[in-house]
Amino acid sequence: MPEVVSEEMTQSIDLLMSVGVAAGIALVAAVAASLVLVAVAAAITRSRTRVVAMRRPLRWPVATLAGTIAFAIAFASLGVQASLGAAGDVIAHALLIAAIAQGAWLVVRILAVAGDAVLARYGATEGDRHRRKVHTQIAIMRRVLVVVIVVIAIGAALFTFEGARVAGTSLLASAGVASLVAGLAAQSVLGNVFAGLQLVGSDALRVDDVVVVEGHWGTIEEVTLTYVVVRIWDDRRLVLPSTYFTSTPFENWTRTSSELLGAVELDVDWRVPVDRMRAELVRIVEGSELWDRRVQVLQITDAVGGMVHVRVLVSAEDSAALFDLRCLVRERLVDFLRAEHPEALPLQRVEVAQQRSPEPRRPHPATGDVPGLFSGDAEAEARRETFTHPIEIVRPDDADADVRR
């Protein structure tokens, strides 16, 4: 009996030692993979900042994947899996699924690092049209690839089960009918997905574009496969489906460049000194950093309705600067006219004409009475006679007799 107990203890100790050795090998593999990652990052780029940017997101996926693979190999090579029997097969299967999940995690992180590296090559200025285009395309493609990688990883994990492989063969046989049903059920969703891909492919919309949609002015904050987020000027968010931008007209102020023209319109009196206003406009814009020194024009575009319509055109490097510049020009011109040329302020002219009073009624020469409606002259008396003489009453019997005659 003691010999049997001793043999079982020896086997348990050997098993634990083998598991410990496998764990040690996994730990060494994880550390070695981390060191190799740092060396590869240093070889790819000489910048310390970029090395840190590559190592930080990839460190844990690389270490856990290397450790899991090393542990699985040592687990089978050292005989631990065979010693545990059915439990060993379950552990080996779990390690395989874990390796698949960690591999998908690593690929997703690599995509993120690659996308950030591409974006780092472009400037961060708002007017950089090419950078905004690349940023939007990378964001959409990253989401698409992440979905594809996750689906592939889930499929690979399911196909490690025998029952899932048999079910998968049946599903592939009926894939045509299933795809038809899924397409009909998710028609709107698929429409938004294809619309999102169309937006990216056609370069019609990019992140940080200045747009006017549904009467709101804002910037594109996020572009996804199914919806677009517009950040309105008052920090509200307008969420619109991707199909909106492929089926509804909208204004894109930064489609080709961020430089814009803006108008300031004033209604003033005809006595306004236009030349003095032009000189004041030049002084205003040249003293402001908001003006990009491209356009400054003052013209009278209309002169009807008792006032003249003055239109000022100014330019700025982006929409935010243009809005502030328009407000500045409007305020300064109003102050200029009010302080130095008050005669140019808008006036409403009204002509007052004196109305002739009606002639007074004169008394009748014979009676001295003032003519009225029924008295005072011959005409009024005749009118009274018409309304006051006896009215002839016709009986019904007399009317019937007249009819019979």
Pull the structure tokens for residue 401.
């007799």
Partners of 267 in the β-ladder: 309
Q: What is the pLDDT of residue 310?
A: 92
- Cα 215 to Cα 217: distance, rounded to the nearest angstrom: 7
The DSSP bridge partners found for residue 308 are 268, 303
Q: Which residues of the chain have pLDDT under 70?
A: 1-9, 11, 14-15, 46-47, 122-133, 163-190, 201, 349, 353-377, 384, 387-405
Structure confidence at residue 390 (pLDDT) = 65
pLDDT on residue 183: 53
pLDDT of residue 389: 64
The CA–CA distances, whole Å, from 275 to 179, 285, 310 equal: 72, 16, 12
CB contact at 8 A, 217 and 260: no
Tokens of 341: 């040329």
Q: Is the dihedral of CA 86, 92, 93, 95 positive or negative?
A: positive
Phi-psi region of 370 (alpha: psi -120 to 50; beta: other; left: phi over 0): beta
Structure confidence at residue 279 (pLDDT)? 92
Phi–psi pair at 349, nearest 5 degrees: -90, 130
Rg value, the chain, Cα:
45
pTM over 0.85: no
Q: Where are the alpha helices (H) located in 273-395, listed in sequence order?
A: 274-286, 319-340, 378-388
Residue 265 token pair: 């319109």
In angstroms, the Cα distances linking 3 to 13, 14, 17 are 15, 16, 21
In this prediction, residue 251 carries a pLDDT of 86
In angstroms, the CA 299 to CA 312 distance is: 7
